[in-house]
Chains A and B, each alone.
Chain A
Amino acid sequence: MSEKLLMKGNEALGEAAVQAGCRLYFAYPITPQSELPEYLSKRMPEVGAVFLQAESEVAAINMVYGAAGTGARVMTSSSSPGISLKQEGLSYIAAAELPCVVVNMSRGGPGLGSIQPAQGDYFQATKGGGHGDYHLLVLAPASVQEIVDLTTLAFDLADKYRNPVMIMGDGLLGQMMEPVTFPSEGSRELQPKPWATTGKTKDREKNVVHSLELLPERLEAHNIKLQRKYAQMEQAEKRWEEYLADDAEIVLVAYGTVARICRSAVDAAREKGIKAGLFRPISLWPYPSEALAKLTPIAKCFLCVEMNTGQMVEDVRLALEGRRPVHFYGRTGGMVPAPEEVLAQIEKLVAGRCEA
């Protein structure tokens, strides 16, 4: 299928999952991602796949655990408060090394918050969320087309690393309609999963999916193994995009929806003769720290823009290790910054010679 279609982000994600071979989807309705379960409730039966509306987000993520343990490609989705409920399951899934895709079309928080777009779940997604030492791979699309591309990638990475992959969108991306094309079908040959619990046949030992290790030596060894895997991800799976960043004296750092707004602000700044650029992390974990730090010889300062009160900015500061001033501008509660607001921040910084 290579024709161009006009689709909502949530629906495009569902279609991309189906085409990536997702054969089970479990979820609970929550705004602003309900178009995704609605789409898949219609679409999954068409391909002989399973759609099941769970009794809760807690149940949904545990259904994902069970299905992933059989080796099937499986997905769940939710929005911020529902993602909080999934954290127990995510910790178990990461510990048991099960591949799955989890979508967060995030909204305003904390608490019940709002149903408008926000990025307040960055810490939760990238720094753990659930208990214990583990990481999700976190991918942050900035367009409906990128939702499609990263959903396909997410299933492949989940299988490759036997790790949960989160697609971190927001209410705006989920609701927005844009033209998309889907990758050509028919090339999805899945690797065998000899570890899966499919019934112990005589030709193999039994398979057990579990996260319990009562002996501290064994649990430590398991943690070391997991950390080795995360180190491999840090080597191979950092993704980002730069826009006019080569000669930029002021570099904006933003992901997802906000990166698009910042791109407009960069264009507006350039028109005013300000050498502004944009660095857009696509993988939020692992974070593309080295690529960002490479911009320091020319960049005089960095401006991190987020729809929260300052979360990714900590990773920007860690990446730059104090070599350049890092500034922050955020809107929260479901408020989306306008390009003019961001431009005003750029102009203010330039006026203060990037030190304000």
Chain B
Amino acid sequence: MITVFSRPRSLADVSTHYCPGCTHGIIHRLVAEAIDDFDVAERTIGVAPVGCAVLAYNYFNLDFQEAAHGRAPAVATGIKRALPDRIVFTYQGDGDLASIGTAEIVHAANRGEAITVIYVNNAIYGMTGGQMAPTTLEGQKTSTSPYGRDVSNAGYPIRMAELLATLNAPRYIARVAVNSPVHVQQAKKAIKRAFEVQIKENAFSLVEVLSTCPTNW
């Protein structure tokens, strides 16, 4: 019998706490597949965020550090500077990366830290119960924008991928989605390329993955 599909070695054989329909599971898998494809699991250290993916360290068969809210790129900087031959990635949501951690992501990217950032954008604070995020679209109703996001009050949704792409140092920045098999395949390619940029070019890479929040939207 030939095995044609199996769990990536870098993904732990455990149940996750993610809600039914949440795309974190798919994205975790794509990250694990990329790490397996390059056969770098023994050299990889992940950094978990604060948010729905705070427990990501339970779901990968990898060494992990859990960062304070928004600080994952600074923590990853510390790891990578201490161990330059290791593969370091952060896994962050949009509240974490695009709001409280804007300084850390901008400067890690600007320094060209050789890390890979997986930026999962579902346009809402999922873990805390569906509050408005910096990425919430105009007019969208959340528990803290009950009349819809009013840009005259809350500002416009921030476009982190575009913002970071204006910097000189980042080598690869992409935005993908995981809402269809075709998009999942595109996301897989992008995540793999992002790790390749770190492994082969020693440069900064980020993939924004448009996601959903089946519980709060």
Contacts and interface: CB of A to CB of B under 8 A. Distances in A.
Contact of B83 (A59, A63, A70): A70
Given A24-B78, A206-B61, A208-B63, A55 B42 contact: no
Contacts of A65: 65, 67-68, 71, 74-75, 78
A67 interface: yes
Contacts of B47: 66
Interface in A70-128: 70-72, 74, 88-89, 92, 96
B78 A68 contact: yes
A224 to B, nearest CB: 21
A200 B104 contact: no
Contact of B104 (A55, A67, A71, A74): A55
A211 interface: yes
Contacts of B41: 199-200
B77 interface: yes
A281 interface: no
Contacts of B172: none
B71 A197 contact: no
Interface residues of B, number: 35
B65 A201 contact: no
A10 interface: no
A58 interface: yes
Interface in B59-84: 60-68, 71, 74-83
A29 to B, nearest CB: 15
Contacts of B183: none
A293 B157 CA distance: 61
B82 A59 contact: no
Contact of A197 (B65, B81, B106): B65
A29 B67 CA distance: 24
B74 A63 contact: yes
A64 B71 CA distance: 11
Contact of B75 (A24, A50, A63): A63
B103 A56 contact: yes
B86 interface: yes
Nearest to B87: A199
B54 interface: yes
B189 interface: no
B55 interface: yes
A69 B61 contact: no
A154 B76 CA distance: 25
Contact of B42 (A24, A54, A200): A200
A86 B44 CA distance: 27
Contacts of A275: none
Given A26-B78, A59-B103, A199-B43, 12 more contacts: A24-B82, A52-B77, A55-B107, A62-B67, A62-B68, A62-B71, A65-B75, A66-B78, A70-B79, A74-B78, A206-B62, A210-B64
5 contacts: A63-B78, A65-B65, A66-B78, A66-B82, A197-B79
Interface of B: 41-45, 47-48, 54-55, 57, 60-68, 71, 74-83, 86, 103-104, 106-107
Interface of A: 23-24, 26, 50, 52, 54-56, 58-60, 62-72, 74, 88-89, 92, 96, 197-202, 206-212
